[in-house]
Structure 1
Amino acid sequence: MRKILPLIAGLGALALLSLGASAPAVADLDHTTWANAGNNAVVARDCDGQPGVQCRAYFPDLEVGTQGELILVYRWASSHVGSVGDIRMKKSTDGGATWSGETIIASSSADLRDPSLTRLSTGRLILSYFTYDAVNKAVIRTETRTSDNGGASWAAPVAVTSTIPHAATSAKIIEVRGSGDLLIPLYGTQGSDPNSSVVIVRSTDKGASWSGNQKTVASGSGTVDWTEPAIAELEDGHLRILARTKGNGFQFDSYSGAYMTTWTATQDLGVPMHAPELFRIPGTNKVVNLWSQPAGSSRPVMVKMRYLDRYWGETQAETLYQPFRDNWDAGYSGTVLLGSSLVSAVYDSTVSGLFIQRYEVQDIEGAYTPKLDLLAEYNAGSVSISTDMTATDPAHPEMRPTGAIDGSTAYFNTAAKAGPAPATYTIDLKSVRQIGKIGISLKPQNPVDGNLYPESAVVYTSTDGITWTAVQTYSTANTTHLDAKLLGGTVSVRYVRVDITASAGWATLNEVALYGFAPYGFGHSQP
């Protein structure tokens, strides 16, 4: 267990911790470990010319350049709002593993916010953002800038004009197939209603001008305030917008090429959303959706695969990034397709970083079936355990070998060895089953003082108990959440083994969770 002090000897000492009732269990996975996740592309440091004032990266976006390089843009400022920020750029030629130095590509006496970057079919880069009066706390306007040399230089800003006098934007410009027109989604108040509306504005000259071509897609009203719309072309003539209110995210579509005239009624998706993004994977029926989802005092980034012939409720969302501890000032993903991989950038002000997450398309396809009830199966004799993590404590009977399969991530619901690593824990399912996701919680965070004590471990699967495949490795990891490893579809598994290789204090395994896999979603079960 994680102790108030590291290396407290014995469970008797552990029982003296004044924790009161057990911490609430985590019902399901709320963090996912992806391949190549966690690369910190931008680290906070003192603001230029302001010693002692720390600046951070906010609101990132990604694009792929003409040579396959990743291009990252972000706002650089000292706070989420209320400070002047500029827009900076970095590049990576190795898929996001390493990054170049930064370049300032847009600056002003105003705060430049929510940058997005799109590469057009001509190779031109077009950057969009909105300007903000940080003193008077008011949006000024949305602007775009273009570059025809890969970001080496940028044209002067072009204002995007519409019936919203002070419009903001937060998502990519799209280039419509066929016509080549550009569309930018905006939001803000128009007329006398204090609530924001969503409009799209069209450019017919590749971003040289934005005027005279707009459509109001959703009007603000006394009860609805529309913000942060994102737009995608799913099929020729079929556009979709995701936007949020003060509560849930909504979807609305335009068909038959009538994107400047006719849109469907809004559809409530039933999920709180901030800053959604969506795009279709070319040549497939797959549509990637991401959003930041307010959850109490935190704002994790969610990712969900959708299909052109499936409803919203037929596939599951996975947690792409869980902020470190509770933190609302995080998220705002920017995502691109790079080969068969998806690459997302997210920021987290708690750890003052901008992180690059790289993961495979197949990891977010289909849906994962409900968690296996391993404790019930153990009690019925259809699952067995082999482990040296057999420590018990009379004051906490939930601490026992089966504590790692009891479905709870509460502090004492755990399996532990009365001593440091190495330790091992093996689950035998008694038959080969199809598993799509494995959840692991190593040492639970101390719920009293929040102390973290890292642990290293390797997770293996096997069909025969002889040949083992390593599916996940943790190196001095703090698993503050039940962490998911997606197996890329379904894998034949009879045995799951967790080897604890290093620990601060007693070797501990808090929870193992196993899930099946339903390819291509659940079927038409929800509207």
Structure 2
Amino acid sequence: MADVTVPFRAGHEGYASHRIPAIVATANGTLLAFCEGRVRSASDHGHIDIVLKRSTDGGRTWGPLQVVASNGTGLAGNPAPVALNTGRVLLVHVRAAASATEDLIRQGNVKDADGRRVWVRHSDDDGVTWSEPAEITGSVKRTGWRWYATGPGHALQLGDGRVVVPANHSLAPTGTDLGTEARYNGGHCLLSEDLGETWSIGYVDDNTDGYINANETTAAELPDGTVYFNTRNDSPSPGNRADAHSEDGGRTLRTPFRPQAGLAGPVCEGSLLQLRDPDVLLFSGPALPDARALMTVRASADGGTTWRPVHTVDGLPAAYSDLVRIDASTVGILYETGDFGAYERIVHRRLPVTRLT
């Protein structure tokens, strides 16, 4: 049986590029692999759909490609799915006009209607069909925030039922040097107490001193109920990761994000997964310090304080990833990779839990 499969490949099935993977396992055990299908190029803006493939055999084979979120010829992206304990699957994502580049949005040169707006939809049949999308921008995006991104990667349902979706935003730069506006990134999360019917903003960490530049963030619920957040850090503090803990389900942070120098790697998204039995926290991401390559899974036995490598996939280029628990003995990793560049294909790999613990 295939432990390594390729659900998405650049230049296939109507898309020039497939990027930004996310994966969840439904209550029935179906794997749902999402990504952005970029129609004309690998660019982060333009005509982009969120596409999905389903697997009912633990990722050994995949069904046909489905478009699960679109915005005409504009952008629907940054998939942040979460499989609820009710059987429902939520998909939180953003929309924007095709011409709304990140630079234009950060500089304030895109009107609100064309900028990054937030939407949610759901499936009650393991991803076969999906509800109409509902916009939640007014509940989760503050006035004055410019850039906005959900996830990417899977979101969480906590043990008490609350849904937590990591996200990030940017503030308007102060001064005249627009070349430094990236320092005004901030992290936050979306919260829902009623299984996705209504939404609010949880913690907000703007870090306007420029020391930490919280960007794409991933989260996991630790065995004691603490929510652990780990973020891509684009500022020149030690290392390219930062982390924080929340003791109230994502409403606030115990302390603001601080550097996590124990996770060496390039500036890139990463993924978290808390295993139970054994209780081990996993992190996936490229491990080459100065380039997106060397996809590696690392493990922590102390809630993210210290980390050790437990499995290196291979030495190839690699970038974004997402982790999923397939069954008691298997973890899945969905990740971007290629022979000569990190964005040639999105691969799913089955990993024995014993190899990771």
Give the TM bin, normalised by the shorter chain.
0.7 to 0.9
5 Å-filtered alignment, 1:27-42, equals: 36-42=2-8
Alpha-carbon spacing, 1:44–1:165, altered in 2? closer, same or farther (3 Å): closer
Whether the 8 Å CA contact 1:202–1:214 is kept in 2: the answer is yes
1:345 paired with 2:334, answer: yes
- 2:136 pairs with one of 159, 164, 186: 159
Displacement after TM superposition at 1:363 (Å)? 0.9
The aligned residue for residue 112 of structure 2 is: none
The aligned residue for residue 105 of structure 2 is: none
1:216 paired with 2:204, answer: yes
- 2:48 partner letter: G
The aligned residue for residue 73 of structure 1 is: 34
1:260 paired with 2:251, answer: yes
Alpha-carbon spacing, 1:166–1:159, altered in 2? closer, same or farther (3 Å): farther
Displacement after TM superposition at 1:309 (Å)? 6.6
- 2:312 pairs with one of 290, 301, 319: 319
The aligned residue for residue 233 of structure 2 is: 245
Distance 1:133 1:100 in 2: 30
Whether the 8 Å CA contact 1:177–1:236 is kept in 2: the answer is no
The aligned residue for residue 20 of structure 2 is: 59
The aligned residue for residue 187 of structure 1 is: 168
Unaligned runs of 5+ in 1: 1-34, 49-53, 366-527
- Computed over aligned residues only, the root mean square deviation of the Cα atoms, in angstroms, reads 2.6
Q: Deviations over 1:282-338 (max 9, x none)?
A: 34321111123454444332211211378414x225323543xxx5xx421122111
Displacement after TM superposition at 1:343 (Å)? 0.8
Whether the 8 Å CA contact 2:164–2:250 is kept in 1: the answer is no
- 1:184 partner letter: V
- 2:157 partner letter: E
- 1:171 partner letter: G
- 2:77 pairs with one of 101, 107, 113: 113
Distance 1:71 1:192 in 2: 38
- 2:61 partner letter: T
Distance 2:55 2:303 in 1: 35
- 1:362 partner letter: T
Alpha-carbon spacing, 1:248–1:295, altered in 2? closer, same or farther (3 Å): closer
**TM-score for both structures, normalised by structure 1:** 0.55
- 2:82 partner letter: T
Displacement after TM superposition at 1:230 (Å)? 1.0
Distance 1:289 1:316 in 2: 9
Give the fraction of aligned pairs with identical amino acids, expressed as a percent.
20
Distance 2:208 2:310 in 1: 28
Asked which structure has the greater CA Rg, the reply is 1
Alpha-carbon spacing, 1:134–1:299, altered in 2? closer, same or farther (3 Å): farther
Displacement after TM superposition at 1:116 (Å)? 2.7
**TM-score for both structures, normalised by structure 2:** 0.79
Distance 1:166 1:207 in 2: 23
Distance 1:116 1:137 in 2: 21
Whether the 8 Å CA contact 2:77–2:93 is kept in 1: the answer is yes
The aligned residue for residue 53 of structure 2 is: 90
Whether the 8 Å CA contact 2:89–2:123 is kept in 1: the answer is yes
Distance 1:47 1:205 in 2: 37
1:146 paired with 2:99, answer: no
Whether the 8 Å CA contact 1:285–1:308 is kept in 2: the answer is no
Corresponding residue pairs, total? 317
Whether the 8 Å CA contact 1:237–1:254 is kept in 2: the answer is no
- 1:206 partner letter: L
Name the SS for the 1:197 alignment partner. Answer: strand
Name the SS for the 1:363 alignment partner. Answer: helix
Distance 1:293 1:154 in 2: 36
Whether the 8 Å CA contact 2:34–2:51 is kept in 1: the answer is yes
Name the SS for the 2:167 alignment partner. Answer: strand
1:129 paired with 2:93, answer: yes
Distance 1:86 1:258 in 2: 31
- 2:187 partner letter: V
Distance 1:356 1:258 in 2: 30
Name the SS for the 1:219 alignment partner. Answer: coil
Q: Deviations over 1:191-229 (max 9, x none)?
A: 555311111221122112223x43213533334321001
Q: Deviations over 1:496-526 (max 9, x none)?
A: xxxxxxxxxxxxxxxxxxxxxxxxxxxxxxx
Alpha-carbon spacing, 1:113–1:294, altered in 2? closer, same or farther (3 Å): farther
Displacement after TM superposition at 1:242 (Å)? 0.1
- 1:168 pairs with one of 146, 149, 154: 149
Whether the 8 Å CA contact 2:170–2:186 is kept in 1: the answer is yes
Displacement after TM superposition at 1:137 (Å)? 0.4
Whether the 8 Å CA contact 1:60–1:72 is kept in 2: the answer is yes
Unaligned runs of 5+ in 2: 103-114, 175-180
Alpha-carbon spacing, 1:124–1:355, altered in 2? closer, same or farther (3 Å): same
The aligned residue for residue 190 of structure 2 is: 201
